[in-house]
Chain A
Amino acid sequence: MKPSLTDRLFTGIVSRCVGTFMLFALAQQTAHAQLYMLDPKIDINTAANTYFGSTKDSEGRFLSGVTVEFTADNTSYVMVTDEAGRFKVHIPKYFSPAEVKFNCSKPGYGLVRSMKRPPPKGTLSPVQADCILAPKSDGAK
């Protein structure tokens, strides 16, 4: 069978053996990467809080492909929920959880409710953030 374009492009690339350490180091370096061009905007050693959570529809089903945006001091941290409707993101600790704003969105859907649960008093991490969305026709905002 004639190989497809994609096959031709990737033949010999995906099969390359790259050491586990190198992969880990690269992944760490590119926590802020954009497509194909490494972009370590923020020092990888910056201490960070973990923010995690899920997005559901109004019937309680996990919703994938939802954009979850945290904003603080004119900076946006953007994640999209996975197939299970969950996300996890690291945000620098110099932003206190109280000042980090949280929003969920998905084209065609409106936000019904969002909840950010701050960590126990005196601690910083982790922060749970969940939201519920509904199709626009369901009367969501």
Chain B
Amino acid sequence: MARAAALLVVAVAMVLPTGSAHERALRAAASLTAEDFVPANEAALELLRERGDLVGQRRHLWQVLANITEPSGRSGLARFMTWFGAAETFAERPAAPAALRTAAMPFAIDERSALRGSLSNQPPLIVLAHYNDAAYRHIRTNSLHRQSALAALQAPLTTPAGSGSANAIPAFPRAAIVLKSAWWPVPAEGAVAMPVWDALANPAHRSGNDYPTWKRVVAVCNRASGAVDVALLGRTMRLQQCIGIERFFNLVLDAEFAALLMQEPTARKLANMVIGRPLRAGDRLALVALHVTTREIADWVWGTLWWHDRADSGPHAAGRPVAQAAPWRSYVLDVAFDADRPREPDGSARIVFNPWLEARFADSGHGGGTVSNCVSCHTRAASPALDPFRVTRGAEPPTVGAGSGSSVSTSSLWSIPLQAR
């Protein structure tokens, strides 16, 4: 029923090419509640991109956020927490069916994660990928979880580089969504320090702006309270208030969930660094960042959110729906429909980054993570994966981008070449 209604709305949108009616149809399509996700009208979204209409783009992403975070099914989990994790999506065996899903499942790890963890010297963060049903099925149906399938799509090595031949994986359905989430541990008792990104206080640095370098931290507790002492990386601070966990989208760990997490070296490292011990039942994970990408347009629609203690003001709060409920009112949003447009005030290509996920990238010649753009980076996604975290500005020429030469474009998803077995 919902899908039929969505189709009707999309059909209406297609015959209303201009003005507010067009936008109303677009909003209505994205707001429908279906089993998974109903994409908005492609032509309407392309128009937002073409016009560089940030107001419309932001309105669309706020709507997508409402859709993917509403309680779902009998579990009442936020919809995106019922989706498939990377370890499940790229495993040899299919994942557990939807009816059996729990919040812990996206956190499942594979054996490769345990091996690599001890080698990492980067500041740790719990980062997950989430694939909705349409994205998961597309990857599995086309065997994109296997390197052999990607290799079979490669053009012969005799194809001259720069010839413009476009090798690509099969196009994802428009209902596909892929998320990337980042989490910070909060103990059942006591307070933890959590860095907060203030753009003006953290000027771009050539070696990146990873969270240990951010100038400000807040204290987070299971229950809001007055002044507390917190410490992070050896720096001790007295803060005037401790922010309650209810201001974050958060998950409560049970013993099994905590044990699952502590099998992963990076999560263990983060827990030790932040709270001084492994996670256990009653502790929580607070969502600090969320990338959202939908295949509603060819280069995907990109939105990115991060938590902020003053999320109700500033350009990244613009367009927030009046009816938006807590805790999502504590998150700010930025959007990218295009690698270039709309241009920045200085005429350079559009900048969209998440401080938790991209600010740390070093300047490799075109600027660091704080001038990056989701579309610019992800349109380079290809198998084999070459230099995936090099920051570039603007759109790449098609003759050097993903799918040129003998590489295979992986439809803007780096996780396919990097995670496939």
Contacts and interface: CB of A to CB of B under 8 A. Distances in A.
Given A78-B121, A108-B276, A27 B115 contact: yes
Nearest to A41: B389
Contacts of B120: 30-34
Contacts of B126: 35
A6 B275 CA distance: 25
Given A16-B111, A41-B122, A69-B212, A35 B277 contact: no
Interface in A11-43: 11-14, 16, 18, 23, 26-28, 30-42
B92 A12 contact: yes
A98 interface: no
A109 B277 CA distance: 12
Contact of B91 (A6, A13, A28, A39): A13
Nearest to A24: B115
Interface stretch (B47-55, B162-170, B263-271, B307-315): B263-271
Contacts, number: 170
Interface in A59-98: 65-67, 69, 71, 73-80, 89-91
B272 A65 contact: yes
A67 B127 contact: no
B115 A26 contact: yes
Given A8-B96, A39-B122, A105 B233 contact: yes
Contacts of A122: none
B321 interface: no
Given A26-B116, A37-B127, A67 B415 contact: no
Contacts of B260: 5-6, 9
A89 B269 CA distance: 14
A8 B91 CA distance: 13
B362 interface: yes
* Contact count band on A: 35 or more
Interface residues of B, number: 67
Contact of B116 (A6, A9, A16, A27): A27
A76 B213 contact: yes
Nearest to B277: A65
A12 B93 contact: yes
A78 B273 contact: yes
A103 B234 contact: yes
Interface string B193-222: 000000000000111111011000000000
Contact of A23 (B115, B208, B210): B115
A80 B415 contact: no
Interface string B254-294: 00100110001011110011111100000000000000000
A78 B92 contact: no
Interface string B107-144: 01111110111011111111111000000000000000
B58 interface: no
Interface in B50-108: 85-88, 91-93, 96, 102, 104-105, 108
B173 interface: no
A34 B210 contact: no
A30 B113 CA distance: 9
B388 interface: yes
Nearest to B182: A34
A132 interface: no
Interface in A87-132: 89-91, 103-109, 111
B419 interface: yes
B127 A34 contact: yes
A137 interface: no
B180 interface: yes
Contacts of B362: 41-42, 75
A35 B264 contact: yes
A13 B121 contact: no
Contacts of A65: 272, 276-277
Which of B112, B235, B269 has the most A CB atoms < 10 Å from its CB?
A: B112
B231 interface: yes
A107 B421 CA distance: 39
Contacts of A106: 272, 276
B273 A80 contact: yes
Contacts of B128: 35-37
Contacts of B175: none
Contact of B207 (A31, A38, A39, A74): A74
Contacts of B206: 73-74
A91 B122 CA distance: 10
Interface of B: 85-88, 91-93, 96, 102, 104-105, 108-113, 115-117, 119-129, 180, 205-210, 212-213, 231, 233-235, 256, 259-260, 264, 266-269, 272-277, 360-362, 388-389, 415, 418-419, 421
22 contacts: A5-B104, A5-B260, A9-B260, A12-B91, A12-B92, A13-B91, A16-B92, A31-B116, A33-B116, A34-B266, A35-B127, A36-B85, A65-B276, A69-B234, A74-B207, A74-B213, A78-B212, A78-B269, A80-B268, A91-B121, A107-B231, A107-B274
Q: Which 7 A-B pairs have the closest CB atoms?
A: A107-B276, A105-B234, A76-B212, A30-B116, A74-B205, A65-B272, A38-B418
